[in-house]
Structure 1
Amino acid sequence: MFNNKTRNQHYVSQVEQKLNSINPSLNREKRRIFEFEILDRQQNSFKLTDKSGVRIEKNLSISDLYTFDILNDSIRTNFENFFKKFEDRVEVLTSNLQKKLELKEDISEQEIIDLVNAKFLNFLRNPL
């Protein structure tokens, strides 16, 4: 379960970035998210780093962040497969909620609780 080839590991999951991206319906390689550079914290001054956004695949990630053993050049022991379960759940629950909102359908309390729990567990992986 813990052995895989993933080296580039996101501390803010790709699914969270995707859900907040410029166009979430694009395929994985083309998804972009806006990135801002803080110019002055005291004055709340910032600027957009690239008007077309930055690619999510390499954004908010560090090589081997969650790796606790490198078996060889390609196989690592890390938590990526474990984290993916939470990411997938966040995406499904969020999509279901969005569809219900669009269709003006009732949303159950349990659906909200499930989404908050999944997002919280996904949030805990952020080391910063």
Structure 2
Amino acid sequence: MLQVYRYDEDLLFVEPVIVTEMDEAGNYVIPADCTEVELPDSPSLFKPKFDSTAQTWIESATKEEIDAILNTGEVEESPVRLLQEQNALLLSQLAETQQQSEEQANMYAELIMSLTEKGVL
């Protein structure tokens, strides 16, 4: 597997893509609208654009666009962050359900013990 980076007709970043297809020589078949060049971590880019001549990612957002994003906090939340939040919520719900199940089991055991002591069972 190989991760590549897809860009649109304006060379703006679209999404990461996993490539698994290989040719007869054993090389990965990279789609025409993708590159192996990784997006930079530092500094990160607001609106990455691929410079095919320099084989690098550049910032294409204007100063006004960057300021607007920073001032309004409207940075698109990453899918990974959303999944982390959903996972935390599900883990919390699971813990609550397990606690309720344990409480019900204890209550059931106490009820059986009480009925046994009174000779009902």
Return the TM-score normalized by structure 1: 0.23
Q: Which of structures 1 and 2 has the larger relative contact order (alpha carbons within 8 angstroms, sep 6+)?
A: 1
Which one has a bigger Cα radius of gyration?
2
